[in-house]
């Protein structure tokens, strides 16, 4: 079991810790299935709300906040019933706008692994306005249940009344459900092929800058980040930050990155290259490869 989870397990009841501990192997991917959650609840005799709050301590251990030193964990429950962990990420020496909030981390984790809707968000600190707006970009965002320690469960509409969202800008296929865009480029390079597919799955209804980052690790594993725009613009999540957040969740070392590529549509009104290169340079000594492609 990765030792970083030991302090979190020590905060749990022995029954819950004994159920969770065998799953926290080196291969643990930061998720629990619906059936595993049901088993945890049965063994620990906790309600779902109590169980979710108890599991937050595991997510918080994945946080990487060198600037604030404030660790936030979040959990997203997908439509499948699977739980996805997220945690806050700050990049050293970089502007605070490069940060990834825990709720964004958990939601993007679920998105990359195939979820198309989120039913519940659990977080150990009240969602800031930035995160409330980000959650509102999701399918039926106002109905998503927000769980906080020692508070009653309430929908996002309680935390974000009179919300401004995708429908106000004429967007009817929100984040996680948008079909993306087809991009045209022929290459035999596996890293670029993968990035092209992921860029096509990105969410850029406001700028048309469909984009994705793919990072190749020494093991040959690819880590993905997609661009996720927001109706309020500033809560948009950059693909490089999403990829680095997923690296934290999967406990991968920045120093094991060997290549990184950004693919983006040349039909977009903006470019993510400068911000992506800056973020990468703060954690690794590799150059960002870049591919600008046309819509097909």
Which residues are tagged catalytic? Answer: 103
* Contact (CB, 8 A) for 227 and 204: yes
* Contact (CB, 8 A) for 228 and 237: yes
Of 60, 52, 67, 86, the C-alpha closest to 237 is 86
Question: What residues contact residue 44 under an 8 Å CB cut-off, 6+ apart?
Answer: 13, 15, 16, 19, 51, 54
Residue 100 structure tokens: 């990834």
Q: Is 209 helix (H, G, I), strand (E, B) or coil?
A: coil
Of 237, 282, 292, 283, the C-alpha closest to 261 is 292
How far apart (Å, rounded) are the C-alpha atoms in residues 144 and 127?
13
How far apart (Å, rounded) are the C-alpha atoms in residues 281 and 275?
10
Residue 270 structure tokens: 């903006």
Buried b / exposed e across 270-296, counting CB within 10 Å, b at 16+?
bbbeebbbbbbebbbebebbebebeee
Of 158, 136, 162, the C-alpha closest to 147 is 158
Question: What residues contact residue 175 under an 8 Å CB cut-off, 6+ apart?
Answer: 107, 111, 137, 138, 139, 166, 203, 228, 230
């Amino acid at each position: 079991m990765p030792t970083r989870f030991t302090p979190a397990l020590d905060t749990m009841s022995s029954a819950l810790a004994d159920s969770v501990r065998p799953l926290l192997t080196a291969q643990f991917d930061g998720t629990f299935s619906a059936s595993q959650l049901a088993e945890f609840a049965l063994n620990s005799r906790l309600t779902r709300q109590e169980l979710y709050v108890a599991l937050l301590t595991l997510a918080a251990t994945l946080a990487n906040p060198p600037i604030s030193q404030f660790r936030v964990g979040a959990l997203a429950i997908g439509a499948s019933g699977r739980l996805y962990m997220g945690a806050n990420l700050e990049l050293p020496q970089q502007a605070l706008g490069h940060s990834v909030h825990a709720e964004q981390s958990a939601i993007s984790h679920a998105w990359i692994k195939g979820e198309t809707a989120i039913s519940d968000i659990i977080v150990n600190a009240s969602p800031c306005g930035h995160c409330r707006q980000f959650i509102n970009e999701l399918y039926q965002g106002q109905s998503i249940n927000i769980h906080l320690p020692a508070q009653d469960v309430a929908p996002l509409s309680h935390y974000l009344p009179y919300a401004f969202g995708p429908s106000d800008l004429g967007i009817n296929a929100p984040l996680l459900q948008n079909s993306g865009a087809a991009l045209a480029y022929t290459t035999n390079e596996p890293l670029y092929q993968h990035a092209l597919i992921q860029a096509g799955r990105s969410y850029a209804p406001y700028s048309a800058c469909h984009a994705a980052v793919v990072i190749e690790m020494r093991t040959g594993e690819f880590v993905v980040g997609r661009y996720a725009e927001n109706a309020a613009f500033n809560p948009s999540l950059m693909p490089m930050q999403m990829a680095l957040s997923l690296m934290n969740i999967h406990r991968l070392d920045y120093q094991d990155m060997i290549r990184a590529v950004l693919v983006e549509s040349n039909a977009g009104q903006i470019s993510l290259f400068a911000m992506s290169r800056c973020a990468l340079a703060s954690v690794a000594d590799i150059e960002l490869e870049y591919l600008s492609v046309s819509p097909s």
